[in-house]
A and B are shown apart, each in its own frame.
Chain A
Amino acid sequence: MDTKFYKLLLAINLFVTIGLCLAYYKSNKIKPDFTNDIIKVRGIVVVDSSGVERVIIGSPLPDPTIHGYRISRGDYGSISGIMLYDSEGQERGGYVTDNGYGNIFLTLDSKTQQNALFMADPHGGAAIQVWGRNGNKISLSAGDEDIYLDLTKNNKALKFKTDEE
C-alpha cells in the first residue's frame, strides 16, 4: 500500500515538474512584441559585444569619462539627447539639447577635445565652428542682425573686409 502510494506520488511529481519545465522553456521563447506600443523610457543604452556602451539616448546624459577618470560638464552643462561612444567608451559626439538655456547642437569630438560644433540658439541664429589645437579655428554664424565669418590661425585672427563689394 505504502509503496504504491509513493510510486503514484513520484509519478505526479515528475509529471508536474516536467510540465513546469516546459512552461518555463516556452515562456522564455516568447519575445516581447512592442510593434503596437509606444515605449516611454528615460534612457536607452546600446552596448557592443564586449559590453562597452556605444550609444546612449537619455535625459540627462551622463558626464563624460576620459582616459581613466570622469569630468563634470559643469553646473550649467547638463544635456539630453543622443551620444555616441567609441570602442574604448570615450564620448565622441552627440546630437543634444542643453537642459538650461535651450541650445541645440551637434558635436564631433576627438579623444581629447571637441573639434566640430553645429549649433542653433533658441532665440534665432545658428553657428558652425571647427577647430584644431594650437589656436586654429573657423567660425561661421548668422543672426537676425548680421552674419560673421571668423578665421583664426595659430591664435591670430585673419582679417577680412566686411561687406566687400
Chain B
Amino acid sequence: MLGCEKNNKNIQQLVAINPLSYTDVAFSSIKDTVFVSTYSGRISKRIKEQDKEELLIQLKDEVYSLQYSDKQNLVIASTLKSGILFIDVHTGEIKKTLQIKKDTWLNSIFLSKDDNYLIGFDTKGNNHIWDLNNDYKKLDFKKELPNSFIRYVDKLGAFYYQTQGKYIKWNPTDKRIEKEYKISGKLVDINDNGDFLLLNFNEFRMFNSKADSLEFKNKHPYYIYKYSNGDTVHDPYQLKLTAARFTMDKIYTSSLDQSIRVWNKIDGTLIDEWYLHNATISDIDISKNQKQLVSVDLKGEIRFWDLK
C-alpha cells in the first residue's frame, strides 16, 4: 500500500480493510437476487447458485449499509466520505447524493417499506430523516425529541425513537407522541401485529407492543465449533448477535458465532440452527414474500436459504 518512493504526491491513508467482507445485503427481487456491499467500495449483484458477482459500481469509498428501493429501481448506499448515494440498478449511475457533515457517517440506514422515508443516525448522534417523496426534504424533530435516536419507520409511517430505556412512537404528520414503550435494545424489526424485535448485545427480545409486555428473550445457547473433519462441539459461549428478522411464524437471528438460529415466534423456543458460514455473519435479509433468507459474512460468503 505504502511505497518507499520519495516525493510521492498522492497522500495515502492506512485503512485496515478486509476487501473480502460483505458489510450488508438487500433483496432486489422476490427471490434469488440481492445486492451486496463491501468495505472496499464494491456494490454487486449476487444471484443464487452463481459463483461470481456482477459488479454494479466500484466506489472509491467504504460502504456500510444498503437498501433497495423497489419503486425507483435504486440501490441506496451509506458510505464513509461520500454521504448517501442513490444508484441506478441498471446503469450503475449515481442519480442522487445526500451529503453528510465532514468526519461523520451513517453505519446503518433504513428505508421504510413504502419507500417514503430514509432514516438513520450518524456517528456523532445526529438523526437524519429524508422524505423521498418531497424532494428529499430533511425532517427534524430535535426540539420535540431531544437525546433520541431514530430506529424504525412502520408501515403506517410512524417513527420509532430510542431514548433512555424506552421507545417513543412518533406521528410525524401531527408532530405528537402516540405511545411510549418501556423496552430497551436496538429495534431491528416490527411485524404486521406490531410486535418489536430488539437486539441487546447477545440477547434478542420479542416485545408485544399492544400488550406492552416483553413476551420472551433469548440467546444463542452455544457456539458451534467446527473441526476440519466436520465434527462439531458445543462451547458454552453466547456471542453478540448481528441481525434479526421476523417472518409470519418465526424469528431468525445471526451472530458472531457464525450461525443462524431459527426460533418459534410464539414462545421463543429454538427450532433449528444453520452453521454453514465460516465467519461472522454481518447481515441477513428476508425476501418480501418471506420464502427466502439471505446471509452474508465477513469472509465474503453468501448463502441463500429457502424457508418452509
Contacts and interface: CB of A to CB of B under 8 A. Distances in A.
B2 A42 contact: yes
A69 B283 CA distance: 11
Interface of A is mostly: loop
Given A65-B39, A70-B105, A72-B123, A89 B283 contact: no
30 contacts: A39-B4, A42-B2, A42-B14, A43-B1, A43-B2, A45-B2, A53-B15, A53-B17, A61-B14, A65-B18, A65-B21, A67-B256, A67-B280, A67-B282, A68-B24, A68-B64, A68-B242, A69-B64, A70-B62, A70-B80, A87-B279, A88-B298, A88-B299, A89-B16, A89-B20, A91-B16, A111-B256, A112-B239, A112-B240, A112-B256
A72 B105 CA distance: 10
A68 B298 contact: yes
Interface of B is mostly: loop
Contacts of A3: none
Given A42-B2, A68-B21, A70-B107, A58 B298 contact: no
Interface residues of A, number: 35
A119 interface: no
B16 A56 contact: yes
B297 to A, nearest CB: 8
Contacts of A157: none
B13 interface: yes
Interface string B1-29: 11010000000111111111111100000
A1 interface: no
Given A87-B299, A88-B21, A111-B240, A68 B16 contact: no
